[in-house]
C-alpha cells in the first residue's frame, strides 16, 4: 500500500508551495580534496531510516479534535501508539533493527476556525535511541512537517519569511522558522525538555551521534534544530556529533546560516526531487520556472500549460522578494533524484482527482470565498474574472501533480521494492480524503485574497511568466 493522493494536503500544500518556492536546482557539492567531509554520501539504508522517521513524525497530521485539552491528550496518546507500533512492527524492525522511543512524542495544537471547535497539530517532535553494530549510540530527533489544515503551520511557520530573526553567530533565520523553533524547544516530556534529555545522554555516552530528521516544514526545522543542538551540546561530552537529514525541506535562513550549518555539523544531507518545488523556497532568481515546471506534461489527459493563478502567485512573490533577504539552501553532498510523472501514469490518482473535481463542482458547491478570490486574482492579472470548470480542472491537475512530487515521489524513491512500502502507511494515515477539505480551502482562500490585494496595491496587472524576468 502506497500513500494515496491525499486531497486537502495536495490542493493546499501544492499551491502554498508554489507561492513561496521556485523550481531551481538544488545546491549539491562536487567532491573536492579541500572538502571531503561534506562530500560523504550516506548509504541508502541510512537515508531510508531517517526518511522513515521524518515521515512517521506526521502520524497525527490532519486529525482535528474538539476542545484543546482533549486534542492535546488524545493526539499525544495516538501518536505514541503509532510511533511505538511502527518501531515494534516485525517487518519494519527486521529492516531497520531495534530502536526505542525515549522522549516524546510532544506536540502543540492550534485552533482551526470552522463550524466546530476543532484543534489540530502544529508541531510534533520525538526522540528515539539505538546502538549500532560497532557499539555507537545514536539519538534521532524526528520533527513533523506541515499539517495541511493548520493555519498556524502555513501562515506562522511556512510563509512567515518576510522578516528574518537573529540566530547564532550573526546568522539569520526566517521569522517562521523561529516560531517553529520556539515551539519545539519549549516542549516537555514529563517536565524534561529535549535539550536536557540530550545533555544527560551525552554525559553517559561519549561519542554519541545526534541525528535530526524532517520532511517539508520538518526539513526546515531540522536545519534550525540541528544548529541548536550542535551549539547546546558543545563541551557536554567528548566527540559528540550532530547530523541533519533534510527531506524536501524549504530554506530556513540566510547565506551565513546555510554556510555555518554545513561547516559546523558532522554531516548535512538534503534529499530533493528535481520535480518538487518545495526544497528551493526563497531562492527567487528562478521564480519564473514555477510557471513552466510541468509544461507539456500529459496529466490525466490534459496537456499542461502555465495557469493564471500559478502565474499570479509567482508575480506576487516576485514583488515581495526584494524584502526577503538572501535566503540560501545549505550545500548538500547528496545528488537529487527525479520523480516519475504521477498523473500521466497513475490512473488511480487521476480517478481520485477527477472525483474530487466532480464533488467540488457538484451539489455541494465550490467554496464561495475561494471562488471569488480566484476570480479576483485572475482579474487583477488581466484575465477574465470568471473561473470555468475546465480551467479549474487543469489547475487542480497541476496542483495534484505537485503534491505527488512532494509526497509520493519521496515515499516511492526510498521504499519502492521494500517491505516498508506496505507496512508504514498504517501508522501515518493522513486525512480522510475529500478533494477539497473546507478548512484547507479557507487557508488557501486567505492567501489568494492576500496575493490579489497586494498586486492591486502595487499597481501590478501583468502576471505573464515573461514579466518575471
Per-residue pLDDT of the chain (469 residues; tens, 9 = 90+): 545 444 444 444 444 544 444 333 445 554 443 444 446 899 999 999 999 999 999 999 888 888 888 899 999 999 999 999 999 999 999 999 999 999 999 999 988 766 556 888 999 999 999 999 899 999 999 999 987 776 666 666 566 677 889 999 999 998 899 999 999 999 999 999 999 999 999 999 989 999 999 999 999 999 999 999 999 998 886 689 999 999 999 889 999 999 999 999 999 999 999 888 787 655 666 566 777 778 788 877 778 777 788 888 878 877 766 566 688 889 998 999 999 888 776 677 777 777 766 665 555 555 677 788 889 999 999 988 888 877 777 777 777 888 888 889 999 999 999 999 999 999 998 633 434 455 566 777 888 898 899 899 989 998 887 665 5
Q: What is the pTM of this model?
A: 0.88
pLDDT at 287: 61
CB-based burial, 397-407: b 16+ in 10 Å, e otherwise:
bbbbbbbbbbb
Q: Does domain 7-468 have CATH number 3.40.50.1820?
A: yes
Domain boundaries, the chain: 7-468
Q: Cα separations (Å) of 84 from 61, 104, 245, 419?
A: 17, 11, 21, 18
pLDDT at 155: 63
Query: What's the pLDDT tens digit per position in 403-429?
Result: 888 889 999 999 999 999 999 999 998
Lookup: cell for 362: 457538484
Asked if residues 145 and 56 have their Cβ atoms less than 8 Å apart, the reply is no
Q: CA torsion sign, 351 to 398 to 152 to 312? A: negative
Amino acid at each position: 500500500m502506497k500513500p494515496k493522493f491525499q486531497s486537502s494536503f495536495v490542493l493546499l500544500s501544492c499551491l502554498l508551495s508554489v507561492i513561496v518556492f521556485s523550481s531551481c536546482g538544488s545546491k549539491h557539492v562536487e567532491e573536492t580534496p579541500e572538502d571531503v567531509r561534506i562530500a560523504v554520501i550516506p548509504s541508502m539504508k541510512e537515508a531510508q531510516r531517517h526518511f522513515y522517521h521524518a515521515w512517521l513524525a506526521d502520524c497525527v497530521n490532519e486529525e482535528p479534535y474538539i476542545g484543546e485539552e482533549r486534542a492535546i491528550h488524545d493526539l499525544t496518546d495516538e501518536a505514541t501508539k503509532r510511533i511505538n507500533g511502527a518501531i515494534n512492527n516485525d517487518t519494519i524492525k527486521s529492516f531497520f533493527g531495534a530502536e526505542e522511543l525515549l522522549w516524546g512524542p510532544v506536540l502543540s495544537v492550534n485552533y482551526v476556525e470552522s463550524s466546530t471547535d476543532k484543534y489540530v497539530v502544529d508541531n510534533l517532535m520525538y526522540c528515539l535511541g539505538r546502538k549500532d553494530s560497532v557499539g555507537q549510540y545514536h539519538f534521532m530527533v524526528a520533527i513533523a512537517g506541515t499539517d495541511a489544515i493548520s493555519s498556524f503551520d502555513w501562515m506562522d511557520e511556512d510563509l512567515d519569511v518576510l522578516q528574518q530573526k537573529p540566530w547564532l553567530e550573526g546568522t539569520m533565520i526566517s521569522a517562521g522558522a523561529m516560531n517553529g523553533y520556539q515551539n519545539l524547544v519549549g516542549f516537555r516530556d514529563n517536565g524534561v525538555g529535549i535539550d536536557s534529555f540530550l545533555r544527560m545522554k551525552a554525559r553517559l555516552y561519549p561519542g554519541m551521534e545526534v541525528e535530526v530528521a524532517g520532511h517539508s516544514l520538518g526539513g526546515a526545522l531540522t536545519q534550525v534544530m540541528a544548529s541548536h543542538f550542535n551549539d547546546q551540546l558543545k563541551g557536554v561530552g567528548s566527540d559528540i556529533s550532530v547530523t541533519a537529514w533534510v527531506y524536501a525541506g524549504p530554506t530556513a535562513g540566510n547565506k551565513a546560516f546555510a554556510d555555518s550549518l554545513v561547516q559546523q555539523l558532522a554531516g548535512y544531507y538534503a534529499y530533493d526531487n528535481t520535480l518538487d518545488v518545495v526544497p528551493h523556497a526563497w531562492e527567487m532568481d528562478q521564480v519564473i520556472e514555477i510557471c513552466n515546471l510541468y509544461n507539456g506534461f500529459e496529466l490525466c489527459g490534459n496537456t499542461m500549460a502555465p495557469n493564471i493563478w500559478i502565474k499570479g502567485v509567482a508575480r506576487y512573490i516576485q514583488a515581495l522578494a526584494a524584502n526577503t533577504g538572501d535566503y540560501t539552501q545549505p550545500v548538500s553532498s547528496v545528488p537529487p533524484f527525479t520523480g516519475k510523472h504521477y498523473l500521466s501514469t497513475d490512473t488511480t490518482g487521476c480517478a481520485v482527482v477527477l472525483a474530487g473535481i466532480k464533488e467540488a463542482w457538484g451539489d455541494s458547491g465550490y467554496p464561495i470565498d475561494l471562488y471569488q478570490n480566484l476570480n479576483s486574482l485572475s482579474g487583477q492579472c488581466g484575465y477574465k474574472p470568471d473561473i470555468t470548470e475546465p480551467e479549474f480542472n487543469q489547475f487542480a491537475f497541476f496542483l495534484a501533480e505537485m503534491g505527488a512530487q512532494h509526497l509520493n515521489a519521496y515515499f516511492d524513491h526510498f521504499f519502492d521494492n521494500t517491505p516498508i512500502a506496505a507496512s508504514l502507511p498504517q501508522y501515518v494515515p493522513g486525512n480522510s480524503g475529500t478533494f477539497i477539505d473546507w478548512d484547507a480551502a479557507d487557508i488557501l482562500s486567505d492567501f489568494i485574497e492576500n496575493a490579489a490585494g497586494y498586486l492591486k496595491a502595487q499597481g501590478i496587472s501583468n502576471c505573464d511568466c515573461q514579466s518575471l524576468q
